[in-house]
Chain A
Amino acid sequence: MSPKLPDLLTGLAQAMLVPPPAEVGPDYMASRQGLVATLLILAAQEAEKGPAARRWENAAIAALLDAVREVYPATPRLTTARPDASWSELDAENAALRQALIGLHIAAEARGDAATQIRILTLYEEMAQARRLDLMPNGV
């Protein structure tokens, strides 16, 4: 999931504003509010790291695609967005780049190209790390 910060915050606000049904007990509401608080903490992390993570991932995938184009000529040429690109623009570019990466990985598997596969698997780990979110030490 690649949520945009305004959508996150708006959605959470709406979740808190919707009046609970009559049958909802205090334990349930306390649990729900605790979860909203956790999500706000995560949203703060996303606000700080989200755009940079998106730019890094897009540049890393584009660089890999460029590096293997000689061997995989069908790999599409996808430029990375301008520095002031919005989250929506970065996500749209990311979707195209990820789709091209999936295609490259399938092609590398079909060729038995271990070196390219290892580069892609390493990139997957880095992509996951770049987008990682952390709960507080107490699990909240």
Chain B
Amino acid sequence: MTLASQIEAYLTRVTGGPVKVSGVARISGGASRETYRFDAQTPDGVRGYILRRDPPDSLIETDRSAEFLAIASFAGKDVAAPRALWLETRGAELERPFFIMGRVDGGAAASPFQPDPYGPHADAIGARFFEVMGRIAAEPLRDLPLLQVMDAPAPEDCWRRELDYWEGVIDADEAHPQPIVRAAIRRLRHAPPPPPKRVGVVHGDLRSGNFLHDGAGRILAVLDWEMAHLGDPLEDLAWATDPLWSRPDDPRVSGMIAFEEGVRVWEKASGLAFDPEAFAWWSLFASVKAQAIWISSAKAWSEGGAEPVLLFSGWFTARAQDLILAARLKALGPL
């Protein structure tokens, strides 16, 4: 049975009418799910969709319910979230857990490593990127679908919950001793950040490369919500501005706009004041979280994962992250 016929059987059942599926093709789209595009013809016409299905191995162990509900939490709101349509946590006709969302056509995602990825539209893309980030942070939690699968932490617990989780990932997946990231973890525990003024939705992987843009200055869709959670909104700002996502020869954030300009836009959209002390903590944390992901990736590759992205992340990206972490620790000085 082909994947197309499996999707067809599923959609025919859940929509209660005849569905013809065509054009199923795997695309690059995040490393934690298999991502496919397809078209479905119903009596109402032909529409484009995206299928996100759990793979046999994954770069990040995440809950597809949280990803689906995070996207659904922003339906119709001004953050360019796709349309979340169907979720199957048991796999149903497709054998592995999956969800389906509406496809956004006509856009492309930039590689974080390519030079000048947005060309003459960098200012517009950058302003919109930080505006979207601020709007996600500003969203009131009350009645959000995401709350069906997770609780909001107390403000003073945001940092600990995230650091405990990602240190646990390193403990579980580290194959070779990593003194640099371990030193960073100790420093983070030594001086926790001040609590956020407000707990909000954190996208968790909002950065250049995880949104579609139209090549003319518009962001069409924000992707890869698999690490969405509730926490300190500064976490997204720190993650997006980690030096890993910017070329060393370009002072802008990911080839978009200057950091200070991005913060100004974020403050206006989020209604939050930028706290340099808290941001410094979350910046170091962002590099620790990233290294945890790369360590997991290395483990998945060494255990037989065939996807080259696992090796790229676990090897090249991990070493680049060590450079960032080591420079940050040196600048911070002794404890």
A28, closest chain B residue (CB): B26
Complex Cα spacing A118 to B114, Å: 35
Interface residue? A79 (CB, 8 A)? no
Q: In the assembled complex, which residues on chain A have CB atoms less than 8 Å from the CB atom of B316?
A: 38-39, 42, 133, 135
**Contacting pair B2 A39 (CB below 8 A):** no
B332, closest chain A residue (CB): A121
**Contacting pair B25 A25 (CB below 8 A):** yes
Q: Could you give, for residues 91-127 of chain A, a 1 whenever the CB lies within 8 Å of some chain B CB and a 0 otherwise?
A: 1001100110110011011001110011011101101
Interface residue? B276 (CB, 8 A)? no
**Contacting pair B176 A15 (CB below 8 A):** no
Q: Which of B132-184 contact A (CB under 8 A)?
A: 175-180, 182-183
Complex Cα spacing A107 to B182, Å: 13
Q: Which of A24-38 contact B (CB under 8 A)?
A: 24-25, 27-28, 31-32, 35-36, 38
User: Main secondary structure on chain A at its contact with chain B?
Assistant: helix
Q: Which of B1-42 contact A (CB under 8 A)?
A: 2-4, 24-28, 36
Q: In the assembled complex, which residues on chain B have CB atoms less than 8 Å from the CB atom of A24?
A: 25-26
**Contacting pair A139 B115 (CB below 8 A):** yes
Shortest distance from the beta carbon of A92 to any chain B beta carbon, whole Å: 10
Shortest distance from the beta carbon of B330 to any chain A beta carbon, whole Å: 5
* Known contacts A101-B179, A124-B326, A133-B319; A14 and B25 CB within 8 A of each other: no
Q: Could you give, for residues 1-29 of chain A, a 1 whenever the CB lies within 8 Å of some chain B CB and a 0 otherwise?
A: 11100011001101100100111110110
A137, closest chain B residue (CB): B115
The residue that B177 contacts in the complex, of A12, A25, A32, A95, with Cβ under 8 A, is A95
Interface residue? A69 (CB, 8 A)? no
* Known contacts A11-B311, A121-B333; A139 and B114 CB within 8 A of each other: yes
Please tell me the number of chain A residues within 8 Å of chain B, measured between CB atoms.
55
Stretch at the interface among B66-74, B96-104, B262-270, B301-309: B301-309
A2, closest chain B residue (CB): B176
Interface residue? B82 (CB, 8 A)? no
Complex Cα spacing A115 to B247, Å: 33
**Contacting pair A1 B314 (CB below 8 A):** yes
**Contacting pair A22 B301 (CB below 8 A):** no
The residue that A128 contacts in the complex, of B114, B298, B326, with Cβ under 8 A, is B326
**Contacting pair A124 B183 (CB below 8 A):** yes
Interface residue? B329 (CB, 8 A)? yes
Q: In the assembled complex, which residues on chain B have CB atoms less than 8 Å from the CB atom of A42?
A: 315-316
Interface residue? B274 (CB, 8 A)? no
Shortest distance from the beta carbon of B259 to any chain A beta carbon, whole Å: 21
Q: Which residues of B contact A (CB under 8 A)?
A: 2-4, 24-28, 36, 111, 113-115, 175-180, 182-183, 186, 247, 294-295, 298, 301-302, 306-309, 311-312, 314-316, 318-320, 322-323, 325-327, 329-330, 333-335
The 17 sampled A-B contact pairs (Cβ below 8 Å) are A3-B311, A22-B3, A23-B24, A25-B25, A25-B26, A28-B25, A28-B26, A91-B176, A95-B176, A98-B176, A108-B334, A114-B334, A121-B329, A121-B334, A127-B326, A128-B326, A139-B113
Q: Which residues of A contact B (CB under 8 A)?
A: 1-3, 7-8, 11-12, 14-15, 18, 21-25, 27-28, 31-32, 35-36, 38-39, 42, 91, 94-95, 98-99, 101-102, 105-106, 108-109, 112-114, 117-118, 120-122, 124-125, 127-129, 131-133, 135, 137-139
